[in-house]
Amino acid sequence: MNYQVNKKGYYGNYGGAFIPEMLYQNVEELREKYLEIIYEESFQNELNTLLNDYVGRPSPLYYAKRLSEHYKSNIYLKREDLNHTGAHKINNTLGQILLAKRLGKTRIIAETGAGQHGVATATVCALMGLQCIVYMGEVDIERQAPNVARMKLLGATVIPAKSGSKTLKDATNEAIRDWINNPVDTYYIIGSVVGPHPYPDIVARFQSIISKELKSQLLIKTGNENPNYIIACLGGGSNAAGIFYHYLEDEKVNLIAIEAAGKGIHSGYSAATSVLGKPGIIHGSKTLLMQNEDGQIIEPYSISAGLDYPGVGPLHANLFETKRALFASVTDKEALDAAFLICNLEGIIPALESAHALAYLEYLKAKENDVIVINLSGRGDKDLATYLKFMK
């Protein structure tokens, strides 16, 4: 099986580029040029130097001894939380901004949910001296206030999205609207493996550094580059795509994607797209999508702003349909409990998103000799207010 995107921009039955005519030129230019640009030697040199010296890569692979004892297995954490700006998002923003510069773009726009992608975008725009506009749902602006402050400090303009659930999907709609109005000078940095082709492939390639590093780190630590399980949380799916990427064709490695069940999958307050979703089109691609009988999007919900999205990227829709990855979900409460557990056992405060992946350890029937890798996609500084509210 091949799980990569094909020439037409599809992962199996999912993907494509369903875009308004006004954006056709932009997306087509990107599609024609992206592979050539990003695999050029000078591009790779510039990107790798910044990944090492600015982001702090490679991110450590940490053997979580006390967590392993607790679950009677061998648990490693891939520490994307230690990256500059506190999450995996910067792997992608750095790559895309170098791409934007080579395309001659001067104005950068982005959407953000938890604010991590917005912060990462504002950061690289400051680094490169480019104008930065970030769209963010009004609800998210409130619950992720520290990240809004960081974006402003870094010189970005944050524009609230006031429609719908006032969260990530609405911010994405606003960003697309801006792009339609400014097609010539503006580059839209999408923050996850979503959007029209070639975006999902661009983001997956930039995030694939995670599994590239993981292979050599595991080989050194365990003598085998393949773990038994890889677990990642799934919003749009970029951190999962990154840590799955170099294992996709190796069917011996079990890939597990964890969605947000919110207050319960069928409670009406959930973002468990693989269970509740059907094929549909959102933000330019055909994928699994939470929608009612009329095709209207059902408002998603999760305690974690980064997982609060009604779809998954087309790569993941295909992994779900082909059963290459196992999709499961955990509730707000289970994620909070997992966060408190790892705070106490390992001295690590995880992002609420990452806590969803950790929570699945309660369900995984691993053996004593199994090797489990969890992608710790980000750190919990931005979630302190939520944690304090629920701390016992």
Which residues are designated catalytic? 89, 111, 377
- Name the one residue in this structure whose structure tokens are 């590093």: 213
C-alpha 366/C-alpha 310 separation (Å) is 30
- Name the one residue in this structure whose structure tokens are 């499961």: 328
Residues 335-364 that bind ligand PLP (CB under 6 A): 351, 353-354
Residue 386 lies near ligand PLP (rule: CB under 6 A): no
In the three-class reduction of DSSP (H, G, I as helix; E, B as strand; rest coil), residue 250 is classed as coil
User: What per-residue string of b and e applies to 176-211 under the rule 16 or more CB within 10 Å gives b?
Assistant: bebbbeeeeebbbbbbbbbbbbbbbbbbbbbbbbbb
Residue 167 lies near ligand PLP (rule: CB under 6 A): no
Residue 378 lies near ligand PLP (rule: CB under 6 A): yes
Residue 84 or 101: the one with the smaller Cβ distance to ligand PLP is 84
- Name the one residue in this structure whose structure tokens are 């319960």: 264
Least gap, CB of 166 to ligand PLP (angstroms): 17
Residue 236 lies near ligand PLP (rule: CB under 6 A): yes
In the three-class reduction of DSSP (H, G, I as helix; E, B as strand; rest coil), residue 232 is classed as strand
Least gap, CB of 181 to ligand PLP (angstroms): 26
Least gap, CB of 236 to ligand PLP (angstroms): 4
Residue 200 lies near ligand PLP (rule: CB under 6 A): no
Number of residues that bind ligand PLP (CB under 6 A): 21
Residue 87 or 124: the one with the smaller Cβ distance to ligand PLP is 87
Residue 50 or 114: the one with the smaller Cβ distance to ligand PLP is 114
In the three-class reduction of DSSP (H, G, I as helix; E, B as strand; rest coil), residue 311 is classed as strand
Residue 217 lies near ligand PLP (rule: CB under 6 A): no
Residue 74 or 78: the one with the smaller Cβ distance to ligand PLP is 78
Cβ count near 105 (within 10 Å): 19
Cα separation values, 347 from 80, 275, 391, Å: 16, 34, 16
- Quick note: the x/- pattern for ligand PLP over 247-286, rule CB under 6 A, is ----------------------------------------
Using alpha carbons only, how large is the chain's radius of gyration in Å? 19
Cβ count near 106 (within 10 Å): 13
C-alpha 301/C-alpha 262 separation (Å) is 6
> Looking at 239, 254, 270, 329, which residue binds ligand PLP (CB under 6 A)?
239
Residue 237 lies near ligand PLP (rule: CB under 6 A): yes
Footprint on this chain of ligand PLP (rule: CB under 6 A)? 87, 89, 114, 116-117, 192, 233-240, 306-307, 351, 353-354, 377-378
